[in-house]
């Protein structure tokens, strides 16, 4: 796909996503019923949980495309990886900030070593390393390979981190925790949550396309600069 096509698609999806986000906000203020036990603060879930899903999706795409990049050496795979990883950083930051805002009311503390919270924090730092490695290499090809290795090892380590943080918690029970999940979510709450999932996913792919287009322009410009220099 051409850069202008990518950009057009990105702008369309992003605009759709932003409109969807406004609708979600409106619905969550005016339409959805309030959860009895947690009250108003439960509304944070309509952005927190979809942000968590998007973070996972983004880092998953980044790890997968990184592995495929090392295998096939197609430049487009690396562009997709870096675009998705950046999206994961943004949505991960959303998840890591909105989570404690909810936790302060529901748990009485901003931070607990709750397994999923810990896992996201570590994932975020693994991908911080991904970007630091990329920017700290003089040879861009080398940076791409190094970053891909970081993403793959990070992905392989995730099951171990997940198991270990759960293990740790079972040894040191956290203070009273109101479990957020419950499969029997009332109808309108479930509808809004699913709608929000869709909106965040659309928003992510819109932004992803924009970032991909940007990376494409940058790579082309770098190649041209190298030609001029040569």
Sign of the dihedral defined by the CA atoms of residues 90, 57, 100, 121, in that order: negative
Near another protein in 211-230, by CB under 8 A: 211, 214, 217-218, 221, 224-225, 228
Q: Is 113 in the site for another protein (CB under 8 A)?
A: no
Q: Select from 23, 41, 68, 193 the one that contacts another protein (CB under 8 A).
A: 41
Q: Is 61 in the site for another protein (CB under 8 A)?
A: no
Name the one range near another protein by CB under 8 A: 57-65, 174-182, 185-193, 202-210: 202-210
Distance between CA atoms of 7 and 49, rounded to whole angstroms?
A: 28
Residues facing residue 35 across a β-bridge: 39
Q: Is 114 in the site for another protein (CB under 8 A)?
A: no
CB 61 to another protein: min, Å: 16
CB 183 to another protein: min, Å: 20
CB 53 to another protein: min, Å: 14
Near another protein in 87-106, by CB under 8 A: 87, 90-91, 93-94, 97-98, 101-102, 104-105
CB 75 to another protein: min, Å: 16
Near another protein in 142-171, by CB under 8 A: 142-143, 145-146, 148-150, 152-154, 156-157, 160-161, 163-165, 167-168, 171
Q: Is 23 in the site for another protein (CB under 8 A)?
A: no
Q: Is 125 in the site for another protein (CB under 8 A)?
A: yes
Q: Is 14 in the site for another protein (CB under 8 A)?
A: yes
């Amino acid at each position: 796909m051409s850069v202008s096509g990518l950009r057009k698609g990105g702008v369309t999806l992003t605009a759709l996503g932003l409109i969807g986000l406004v609708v979600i906000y409106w619905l969550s203020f005016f339409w959805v019923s309030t959860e009895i036990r947690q009250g108003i603060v439960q509304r944070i879930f309509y952005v927190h949980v979809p942000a968590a899903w998007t973070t996972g999706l983004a880092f998953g795409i980044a790890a997968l495309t990184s592995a495929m990049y090392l295998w096939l050496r197609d430049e487009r795979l690396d562009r997709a990886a870096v675009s998705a990883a950046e999206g994961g950083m943004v949505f991960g930051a959303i998840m890591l900030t909105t989570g404690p805002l909810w936790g302060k009311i529901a748990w009485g503390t901003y931070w607990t070593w709750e397994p999923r919270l810990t896992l996201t924090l570590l994932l975020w730092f693994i991908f911080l390393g991904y970007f630091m490695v990329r920017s700290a290499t003089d040879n861009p090809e080398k940076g791409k390979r190094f970053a891909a290795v970081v993403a793959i090892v990070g992905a392989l380590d995730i099951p171990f981190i997940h198991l270990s943080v759960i293990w740790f918690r079972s040894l040191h029970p956290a203070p009273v925790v109101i479990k957020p999940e419950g499969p029997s979510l009332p109808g309108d709450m479930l509808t809004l949550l699913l709608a929000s999932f869709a909106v965040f996913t659309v928003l992510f792919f819109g932004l992803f396309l924009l970032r991909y287009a940007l990376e494409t322009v940058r790579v082309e410009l770098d190649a041209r600069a190298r030609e001029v220099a040569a």
